[in-house]
């Protein structure tokens, strides 16, 4: 497949995104190719571990390719998107529970679907260019591909802040929050990958890791805790509006750009996942309830229109000023019956 290079090199199963011209955005076909390979390698005695990387300097994987999702949804066909998300989420869980080490090298942008592939393995490597984010609320979705699981387990209220505003994390931030494990200068990555292919094992990788750059978020944690601890979206909005510091003004600006339904549901999802921890499968199941309804009952199609298609950056959300009825949140996250995500 032209968009992805899947092979066995030495003792390593190798997956390389080769769609650099599109920031390595992941298509459904790429997702299914990864799934097939990893299921095969799980039973392959000659494969000790899996290494995932990407060509190009700008991105490991900047998200899923949403053009087909938009086109089918606008025709009233919601089945394609539901199938895409269902199979992608199953892959995310399989990767997180994989029986062999999975090492990802994430340069540049890692967002959306890229987080689902790169941020659930056993050894997640970042470098100086790494920028990890969950910006789904800006297009009418919620942090998905298992991202809500990471956010719910982040220190303090970092999960709410990052999930609702889509703020980007540098390498130190990504390790602090839980999206990455190891920092290694990117110039050293080719040699490390070659050593893994040659059978060196992940212990050598861990031994060569260096102290991560300071996490910028650490200095903001008190402000994040103060403003993002509210039980409702309106609590958070009002707290930010009442404050005078630059952090609050910038956070509020990011928050009001996001889809109100998405931010309200993100807040509820993280609260549920903390109250009743169920691992990544519970998080993916909750995410799927939202994405299953996102086209028909949410603002996903309008978010894509405004951000990607027309690019007017002026979405007409169903609700305004972050006032979302609790009944809407309940409806978007209600169980799906026979359509619930299974593994």
Q: Where are the domains of the chain?
A: 1-343
CA distances from 194 to 37, 103, 190 (A): 20, 13, 6
User: Rounded to two decimals, what is the model's pTM?
Assistant: 0.97
CA 257 – CA 164 distance, rounded (Å)? 10
Whether the CB-CB separation of 220 and 119 falls below 8 Å is answered with no
Question: In this predicted structure, what is the pLDDT of residue 20?
Answer: 96
Pairing between β-strand 4-9 and β-strand 12-17 as defined by DSSP bridges: antiparallel
Question: In this predicted structure, what is the pLDDT of residue 285?
Answer: 98
CA 135 – CA 137 distance, rounded (Å)? 6
To the nearest 10°, the Cα dihedral for 160, 164, 167, 173? Answer: 20
CATH fold of 1-343? 2-enoyl-CoA Hydratase; Chain A, domain 1 (3.90.226)
Buried b (16+ CB within 10 A) or exposed e, 153-192: bbeebbbbbbbbbbbbbbbbbbbbbbbbbbbbebeeeeeb
Which portions of the chain are predicted below pLDDT 70?
Answer: none
Residue with tokens 């990471």: 150
Q: Determine whether 20 is exposed, middle or buried from the number of CB atoms within 10 Å of its CB (0-12, 13-18, 19+).
A: middle
Pairing between β-strand 109-111 and β-strand 131-133 as defined by DSSP bridges: parallel
In sequence order, the 6+-apart residues with CB closer than 8 A to the CB of 253 are none
Residue 103 DSSP SS3: strand
CA distances from 244 to 223, 240, 247, 251 (A): 11, 8, 8, 12
CA 164 – CA 287 distance, rounded (Å)? 14
Q: Determine whether 117 is exposed, middle or buried from the number of CB atoms within 10 Å of its CB (0-12, 13-18, 19+).
A: buried
CA distances from 21 to 112, 251, 290 (A): 17, 31, 30
């Amino acid at each position: 497949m032209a968009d992805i290079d899947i092979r066995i090199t030495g003792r390593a199963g190798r997956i390389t995104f080769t769609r650099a011209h599109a920031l390595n955005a992941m298509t459904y076909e790429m997702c299914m190719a990864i799934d097939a390979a990893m299921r095969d390698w799980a039973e392959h005695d000659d494969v000790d571990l899996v290494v995932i990387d990407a060509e190009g300097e700008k991105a490991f994987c900047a998200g899923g390719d949403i053009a087909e999702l938009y086109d089918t949804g606008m025709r009233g066909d919601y089945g394609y998107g539901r199938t895409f998300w269902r199979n992608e989420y199953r892959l995310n869980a399989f990767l997180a529970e994989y029986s062999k080490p999975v090492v990802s090298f994430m340069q540049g942008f890692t967002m959306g679907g890229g987080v689902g592939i790169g941020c659930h393995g056993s050894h997640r490597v970042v470098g100086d260019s790494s920028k990890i984010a969950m910006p789904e609320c800006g297009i009418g979705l919620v942090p998905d591909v298992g991202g809500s699981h990471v956010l719910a387990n982040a220190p303090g209220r970092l999960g709410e802040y990052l999930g609702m505003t889509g703020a980007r994390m540098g390498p130190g931030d990504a390790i602090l929050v839980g999206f990455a494990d190891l920092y290694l200068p990117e110039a050293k990555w080719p040699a490390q990958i070659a050593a893994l292919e040659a059978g060196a094992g992940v212990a050598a990788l861990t031994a060569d890791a260096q102290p991560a750059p300071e996490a910028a978020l650490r200095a903001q944690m008190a402000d994040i805790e103060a403003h993002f601890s509210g039980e409702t979206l309106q609590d958070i909005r009002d707290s930010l509006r009442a404050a005078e510091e630059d952090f609050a003004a910038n956070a509020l600006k990011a928050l009001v750009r996001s889809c109100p339904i998405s931010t309200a549901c993100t807040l509820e999802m993280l609260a549920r996942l903390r109250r009743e921890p169920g691992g990544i499968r519970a998080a993916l199941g909750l995410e799927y309830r939202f994405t299953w309804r996102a086209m028909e009952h949410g603002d996903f199609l309008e978010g894509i229109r405004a951000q990607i298609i027309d690019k007017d950056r002026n979405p007409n959300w169903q609700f305004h000023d972050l006032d979302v009825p609790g009944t809407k949140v309940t409806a978007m996250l209600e169980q799906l019956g026979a359509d619930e995500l299974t593994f």
